[in-house]
Structure 1
Amino acid sequence: MDGYKPPDGVRVDVTARRDAALYLGLAASWGTAFVATDAALDTVPPVPLAAIRFDLAALALFVVVLATGRASRPRGRGDWAPILIGGICNIGLHHALLFAGQRSVSPAVAATLLGLVPVLTPVATRLTRADEGLTRRGVVGILVGFAGVILIANPDPSNLTASVGAALVLASAAVWTVGAVFTDEDDAALGGLALQAWTLLVGALALDAAAFVLPGQSFAAAAFPPATVGWVLYLAFVPGAIGFLVYFRLLDRLGPIEMGLIEYVIPPFAALFGWWLLGDTIDAATVGGFVAILIGFCLLKAGVLRRRLYERVAPAGASASETD
């Protein structure tokens, strides 16, 4: 079989399946992060927790980069642009604003406001990339998915309008969107692993600085009993180092609109893990939210799903047209 090369269609299909598996794995990982964060916050303030998480995550990626002998020094704008944009926006500012907002906003309200990321991303992308956009069916899918997030989060409407914390969480969603839209690795000379290591390091340093500036967020206020150490290590290495490595790899391949939709996939996993580990209830509204998110995804991916179905039932040699 030496020299055998599978047909292009086979390679594309394998890549699509791998990306789908990574996408779901990332959503599951970030869903568990809510449970792990709730546990760790019992003894560590929010911003120091985020800072320590990304300090360790960056260190882990740098160890792998150096151990494998890969190029590790950024060279030129092609490397530094995605490192600084992703690090400052998606890691540093996003988490600083999010955790500052969560001091006065419930997790349900925060989850709902972060669910605006898939709504904001197509708008920002349309303004900056004329070749990307959504069909009307895609817009409906995003709105249906957002309705599902609201059903799962079940926020208190009174907290959405007058809270300063809500404004901070909304700002964190906007900052995340900016980072996703403007992070472009096309001109990068560094490999993806080294790029993500530097990105996490930039974000970690920003969070370290925020921990010294924000009131009540001092490292001195943190305590680390064995259970907390376990949760922090999990946050650093699974949703942190591995999770963000996968996120930025998929962002480069799938684009900001599709990756923004991960905010719709995370709440179901968070709810399931909360039910499994913490005994949280899954009521009819939560199930309805799951269904709404599934319908939203089907609307957004109708063209792909139709093609997959056609490939299974069509005679050999027939071709399906892509209309989306």
Structure 2
Amino acid sequence: MPASSSAPTVSLPLDEAGSAAAASSRRWADTALTALTPMIWGSTYLVTTEWLPPERPFTAACIRTLPAGLALLLWQGHRLPRGAWPRLLLLGILNIGLFQALLFAAAYRLPGGIAAILGATMPLLVLGLTWIFDQRRPPLLALGAGLTAVLGMAAIFAGPATSNLDPVGLLAAAGGTVCLALGTYLTGRTAAGTPAVPLLTSTGWQLTFSGLLLAPAAWWLEAPIAELQVTHIVGYTYLCLAGALLSYPLWFRGIRRLSASAVSALGLLSPLTALVLGWLVLGQAFSPTQLAGMTIVLAAIFTLQWALRPQR
């Protein structure tokens, strides 16, 4: 009898501990899978400068998004529940179409590092939106890690080139960051409200809407490509398949499974990946300050994931 009566008190905590460990393992696996998206996006600069024709950013953005969106709709099905398309139109504009337009506008007017520094504020913006509209106060550890990430990114990219900056470029970079932060927050908030829309269908419509938004800009503002080379085809194919068809479903899946705040922190991996690829492929060197900044940003990303994990 003593041994029998003690069994429940031993097995129940062990079951709870095992369940918590399994949930934690699944969360970190989802985090690692979602992190592939900003790492893929970090290769965009290298692909654009080395494999694509110059001065055609809207053409590249349109080719990346529109074929991927149409492919997802043909594969997954194009029907939407009544009332779902306005939300997906808004999310597609914020997450992809308008964000990319502002991003490319900033790229023409600002050094790339400035956009990275402003983009590093995105986790803080999403935390602020969650605090204001959802009444969920972020942990102090998350706020501190978000601020540390901005300082680390400034250590990597700030320099003499950051003086006498174009105000229009600054507004475009800041607007793009706010746009993506708002889109990420709304994606997390509306995902529970649109359970009838499958992930791939939702992603396909967002990519299609954004591609249709970018197509007129590419048509009116950029000259047609005079000669399409093999490297151009390879570059555009990579941007479409990896940069949109694979990455955006992973990004939106991560928002559904983790949280908008946690996923926004993973976006900090994009400029770090661009730096590493520049070192591996282009032979660019790191300064000690840049190495220290990269270490700080990586530590901040891990701390944000830890601080924003679900509490039991």
Superposition TM-score, scaled by structure 2 size: 0.85
In the alignment, is the contact (CA less than 8 A) between 2:70 and 2:204 conserved in 1? yes
Q: Which of structures 1 and 2 has the bigger CA Rg?
A: 2
Residue 284 of structure 2 aligns with which residue?
280
Residue 68 of structure 1 aligns with which residue?
none
In the alignment, is the contact (CA less than 8 A) between 2:52 and 2:236 conserved in 1? no
Structure 1 residues 57 and 44 mapped into 2: Cα distance closer, same or farther (>3 Å)?
A: farther
Residue 68 of structure 2 aligns with which residue?
57
Distance in 2, Cα, partners of 1:111 & 1:50: 19
Residue type at the aligned position of 2:129? A
**Match of 1:93, SS?**
helix
Distance in 2, Cα, partners of 1:21 & 1:163: 37
Mapped pair 1:190 → 2:197: yes
After superposition, what is the alpha-carbon deviation per residue over 1:150-171, rounded to whole angstroms, capped at 9, x for unaligned? Answer: 22223533144x4311211111
Distance in 1, Cα, partners of 2:227 & 2:264: 34
After superposition, what is the alpha-carbon deviation per residue over 1:60-117, rounded to whole angstroms, capped at 9, x for unaligned? Answer: 323432xxxxx4311122x324411221111110001111221111211222222221
Q: CA RMSD in A?
A: 2.6
Is there any run of 5+ residues in structure 1 with no aligned partner, and where? 1-5, 66-70, 308-321
Residues 110-259 of structure 1 aligned to structure 2 (within 5 Å) = 110-130=115-135, 132-155=136-159, 156-160=161-165, 162-183=166-187, 184-188=190-194, 189-213=196-220, 217-221=221-225, 223-259=227-263
Structure 1 residues 304 and 55 mapped into 2: Cα distance closer, same or farther (>3 Å)?
A: closer
The structure that is helix-richer by fraction is 2
Which deviates the most, 32-41 or 238-247? 32-41
Structure 1 residues 163 and 245 mapped into 2: Cα distance closer, same or farther (>3 Å)?
A: same
Structure 1 residues 257 and 303 mapped into 2: Cα distance closer, same or farther (>3 Å)?
A: closer
Deviation at 1:221, TM superposition (A): 4.9
Structure 1 residues 97 and 304 mapped into 2: Cα distance closer, same or farther (>3 Å)?
A: closer
In the alignment, is the contact (CA less than 8 A) between 1:43 and 1:222 conserved in 2? no
Structure 1 residues 250 and 302 mapped into 2: Cα distance closer, same or farther (>3 Å)?
A: closer
In the alignment, is the contact (CA less than 8 A) between 2:64 and 2:243 conserved in 1? no
**Match of 1:220, SS?**
coil
Structure 1 residues 173 and 304 mapped into 2: Cα distance closer, same or farther (>3 Å)?
A: closer
Which deviates the most, 229-238 or 219-228? 219-228
Deviation at 1:40, TM superposition (A): 4.2
Say which of 3, 6, 20 aligns to 2:31: 20
In the alignment, is the contact (CA less than 8 A) between 1:39 and 1:228 conserved in 2? no
**Match of 1:282, SS?**
coil
How many residue pairs get aligned? The number is 293
Residue 81 of structure 2 aligns with which residue?
75
After superposition, what is the alpha-carbon deviation per residue over 1:26-66, rounded to whole angstroms, capped at 9, x for unaligned? Answer: 2321211221122245435111111111122213323432x
